A and B are shown apart, each in its own frame.
Chain A
Amino acid sequence: MIHFDAVTKRYPGGHDALKRINLNIDTGELVFVTGHSGAGKSTLLRLIALIEKPTRGQLLVDQRSTRGISRWALPAYRRDIGMVFQDHKLLFDRSVFDNVALPLVIAGFNHRDIGKRVRAALDQVDLLHKEKQRPVTLSSGEQQRVGIARAIVARPRIVIADEPTGNLDPELSRGIMQLFERFCEVGVTMVIASHDLALIDQMGHRRLSLSQGELIHDTASLTNTQPLFAD
């Protein structure tokens, strides 16, 4: 589903955020990306969302090179990717329902379908009873779940999440991770950046370790000769 072929990302000023990354993520896989801050986790996700473009190398999503996606085709590409942000990125001038409905409104769904799908998504994150509230009246964990509902409401094939449990207590974090596992079971490809190593180890999914822009460990690759990333 997602294929990195010797991808290098160099930011203006010469800093290499990612160095010759080779990586393959299959459909329906749940992958954790770990590493210290500045290791390149966010850059990896931003490349998949096409917020950044590779400086060198090739990124294929669904067997299609992202290089050929023009500015005009970009919105359609992004509609197929659900994004969960650490800072939620909710719109505070509208209700929880309207926030979650936004991807469907953008995609041009009709009124009735929007209602059904939004309620289904809110039900999954257990926030159906708060659909009329404004995001400011919710706790941080609830806001994060609204963000997750918005990411999955249009049933994208890929969901990327950047530190989705960054500010949450362990109990809430576990709940959200279990939610992600459920999406994965219905065929959604999930890429989650996190530094919550204890939780990741418990869950036992594939884990990529980044350090200074290099992929130093991948639990899926048994031929890995590089040393394990020390926590």
Chain B
Amino acid sequence: MGAYLSRHLQVLIGSLGKLVENPLGTFATVLVIGITLALPAALHLLVKNALVATGGWQGASDFSVYLKMDTEETKARALATLLEARADIASVVLVTADDALAQFAAQSGFGDAIGALEDNPLPHRFNIRPLSGLGVEASALLQEELQNLAEADVVQLDTEWVARLQAGLNVATRVILIAGATFGIGLLVIIGNTIRLDIQNRRDEIEIMQLIGASDAFIRRPFLYTGLWYGLGGGMLALVLLAVMLALLSGPVGQLAGTYGSSWALVWLNWTEVGAVVGSGVALGLAGAWLATTRHMRRIDPT
């Protein structure tokens, strides 16, 4: 067993040594693998960051409750105090009809025209911020209860755009899966082809090994380890490329977030995702090498 393990280790190191002997060619292959792995991973990072960014906004989506026109201001104030006491509400801001009109006059530029109005056409309004982290069901219940208030006219929860963004991100996630699968097949071909050339270069060696009784597994082993090194190297390089991409983006993104008054920063891959990038590189490297050896060793076999 010890001999078996040390033999494997020897082949593992040996195949790495062969790759290092030809640094330029090896680097070119690893670079191609790295870029191919980095592309779907970068897409994934993009979507992940978008989800983190919008996730924060969705939790804070406020209700706007427009009261009926005949509601007295004192009644509205009392109601606001009552609502604020609820466990599922974080804050209630009363915007009276007069405030709303003044705001509108100031912001819209129709000040003079509005001054000509006899009656204020606007109702009193509550801006209600639910408790952060309130679930979808609790949120719907709150909306329903607000709607059932005798004084309430219209309750608005402006989450439609968030829902659309969510759906869009779901599409993007699916696109990543498809892109990942396509690039995965591409990687199999790239690695398989590289190993195929390697096999052709060592054709005589393989034939001799077969003649003196080497099993398929024995002959295949160095090529499998070569594929493993390619995949591992490509996976590591993909991580480096992603880190560089993120570093280049973090400045502009910080500025963008700043304009929204947010200190939100880009999210890096978690350990599972780092493992997935490197792991898929290794798995595809081994699989590509396996396919190439299976296909081409038979052809060399003298029998």
Residues of A within 8 A of B (CB): 49-53, 71, 74-81, 83, 89-91, 93, 102-103, 105-111, 150
Shortest C-beta distance, A226 to chain B (Å), equals 32
Q: Which residues of B contact A78 (CB under 8 A)?
A: 210-213
Which of B212, B215, B303 touches A50 (beta carbons < 8 Å)? B303
Given A51-B302, A74-B303, CB of A108 within 8 Å of CB of B7: yes
Q: Which residues of A contact B208 (CB under 8 A)?
A: 89-91
Name 15 A/B residue pairs within 8 A (Cβ), A-sorted.
Answer: A51-B211, A51-B303, A71-B303, A75-B210, A75-B214, A75-B216, A76-B213, A83-B211, A91-B208, A102-B209, A103-B212, A106-B213, A106-B215, A107-B213, A110-B3
A109 to B2 Cα, complex, angstroms: 11
Shortest C-beta distance, A69 to chain B (Å), equals 10
Instruction: Count residues of B near A (Cβ-Cβ below 8 Å).
Output: 20
A93 to B202 Cα, complex, angstroms: 10
Q: Are A150 and B212 in contact (CB under 8 A)?
A: yes
Q: Is B218 an interface residue (CB 8 A)?
A: yes
- Hey, what's the 0/1 contact readout for B61-88 against A, CB within 8 Å counting as 1? 0000000000000000000000000000
Shortest C-beta distance, B132 to chain A (Å), equals 64
- Say what secondary structure dominates the interface of chain B: helix
Q: Are A79 and B213 in contact (CB under 8 A)?
A: yes
Q: Which residues of A contact B215 (CB under 8 A)?
A: 75-76, 106
Q: Which residues of A contact B3 (CB under 8 A)?
A: 108-111
A80 to B6 Cα, complex, angstroms: 24
Shortest C-beta distance, A146 to chain B (Å), equals 13
Which of A74, A93, A106, A107 touches B209 (beta carbons < 8 Å)? A106
Which of A49, A83, A93, A108 touches B4 (beta carbons < 8 Å)? A108
Known A-B contacts: A53-B303, A75-B218, A106-B215. Give 9 more (CB < 8 A): A75-B210, A78-B210, A79-B212, A81-B213, A89-B208, A91-B208, A106-B212, A106-B214, A108-B4
Residues of B within 8 A of A (CB): 2-4, 6-7, 204-205, 207-216, 218, 302-303
Q: 4 tightest A-B contacts by CB?
A: A79-B213, A78-B213, A110-B3, A75-B215
Q: Are B303 and A103 in contact (CB under 8 A)?
A: no
Q: Are B2 and A110 in contact (CB under 8 A)?
A: yes
A103 to B212 Cα, complex, angstroms: 6
Q: Which residues of A contact B210 (CB under 8 A)?
A: 75, 78
A107 to B212 Cα, complex, angstroms: 10
Q: Which residues of A contact B214 (CB under 8 A)?
A: 75, 106
A52 to B301 Cα, complex, angstroms: 11
Q: Which residues of A contact B6 (CB under 8 A)?
A: 111
Q: Which residues of B contact A75 (CB under 8 A)?
A: 210, 213-216, 218
A102 to B214 Cα, complex, angstroms: 9
Q: Are B7 and A105 in contact (CB under 8 A)?
A: yes
A110 to B303 Cα, complex, angstroms: 30
Q: Which of chain B's residues has its CB closest to A99's CB?
A: B208
Residue among B209, B215, B218 having the largest count of chain A Cβ atoms under 10 Å: B215
Q: Which residues of B contact A109 (CB under 8 A)?
A: 3
Shortest C-beta distance, A84 to chain B (Å), equals 11
Q: Which residues of A contact B7 (CB under 8 A)?
A: 105, 108
Q: Which of chain A's residues has its CB closest to B301's CB?
A: A71
Q: Are A52 and B303 in contact (CB under 8 A)?
A: yes
